[in-house]
Each structure stands twice: as C-alpha cells, then as structure tokens.
Amino acid sequence: MNRKVKIAVFASGSGSNFAAIEQACSADELNAEIVLMVTNKPEAFVVERADKVSIPVAAIRPKDFETKDAYEEAILHALRESGAEWLVLAGYMRLVGPVLLMAYPSRIVNIHPSLLPSFPGKDAIAQAVAHGVKVTGVTVHLVDEGMDTGQILAQCAVDVVSGDEDKTAEAIHAVEHGLYKDTLNELFSR
Ligand code: GAR
C-alpha cells in the first residue's frame, strides 16, 4: 500500500465526520493518518472524541488573537509541527483566510450539507427545509477564498423529509460519512 497521507481535520462541533474519518483511517479504508485535529472551539464535543483516540488537538480560539491572520499563523505553526499535508474541514464553521490558503494551495477540502451552489454558509439544512426544496444533498469541494465556492469534487442527492429538519439532517449525515471517505481516497490517489 502507498504511504499514508498526513491530514489535519478541522472541526467546530460534534465531530461525527471526524469520527468517521478516524475510523476509516484505523480500518485502512482511507489511505491517510490524522496527525492533528484543529478546532476553534475548545469546548466542542469533537475534542473529547479526539482525546479518546489519542489524536493531538490544537484548540485555538480566534478571539485570543488581534487579527484573523495572527489566528491562522498560530494554526499554521501547529500544522507545520504535525507534518500535515492536507487540511480536511469537517464541520469547521469559519471562513478559511489567506494564510492557510497560501500555505496549502488546492490542498484544503470541505464537506457541506447541501447541493452547492444552493444553500451555502451556515444552517444549510435548515435553509433547504425552510425553502421547501424536495431534494438537497451533500457536496465535497476544494476550498477557495469564497464561502463554499471552490471546485466541486463530489455530490450526492438526499431527499428532504418534508418539513422535518432533524430527519433530513439524519439522512444527510448518513450520506456524508461515506461520501467524504470515498472522495478523499480518490483525491489522495491522484
Ligand atoms: C456537517 O453536516 C457538515 O457538512 C457541516 O457541519 C456538520 C458537522 O457535523 N458543515 C458545514 O455546514 C460547513 N459549512 P459533525 O460535527 O457531526 O461532523
């Protein structure tokens, strides 16, 4: 098997995608190794998940820095120490800025719970349900300076459960974990 790709996973919340990626790496279903979990929210549940599987955590709060560049320089320092080659955003609820984009050109990937370019930004599932669309889905894309505007790598449609955000979210999460694994494998084998 090829050398494992070193990845840093970025997350801000529950971390179900982080857990799915970690399990895929451990089971050799994803040719990668998580060398760092980066979060902007030290209190997020994803930190517990990372601790449990002994993955190093960089919990760095934006409000501890005067500028976004300084915040991202601190992240970059931790990334360089970890040897991360790719950044995998998994529920990281911040717009990536120039410091990280320049350090990892075309090497930052994101998963978003809608069929982009529909419903970018926050609360994509709630937006889709409120809009009354019948089909939404999941997109994996490269990250650029825009809000969920980078090159689309993969998409999968998911039916909206009429008026029910929770059930729609459940269906979306079930698709996300497999789609992210498959897309990352494809990307890392290029
Ligand atoms: C996921 O649904 C992911 O697609 C979304 O946050 C959720 C995180 O769930 N990301 C975005 O909305 C990015 N704009 P998780 O913490 O359980 O992985």
Q: Is 173 a catalytic residue?
A: no
pTM above the 0.85 mark?
yes
Residue 163 binned pLDDT confidence (cut-offs 50, 70, 90): confident
Cα separation of 9 and 128, whole Å?
26
Pocket test for ligand 1, best of 111, 138, 142 (most atoms within 8 A of CB): 111
Question: What are the structural domains, with CATH classification, of the chain?
Answer: 1-105 (3.40.50.170), 111-190 (3.40.50.170)
The residue contributing the CA closest to ligand 1 atom 8 is 91
CB-based contacts of 124-128 (< 8 A; 24+ apart in sequence): 125/165, 125/168, 125/169, 125/172, 126/165, 128/160, 128/168
Cα separation of 161 and 164, whole Å?
5
Q: Determine the distance separating the centroid of ligand 1 and the alpha carbon of 1, expressed in angstroms.
A: 30
Residue 1 binned pLDDT confidence (cut-offs 50, 70, 90): low
Cα separation of 6 and 72, whole Å?
19
The model's pLDDT over 120-160, given as tens digits with 9 standing for 90+, comes to 999 999 999 999 999 999 999 999 999 999 999 999 999 99
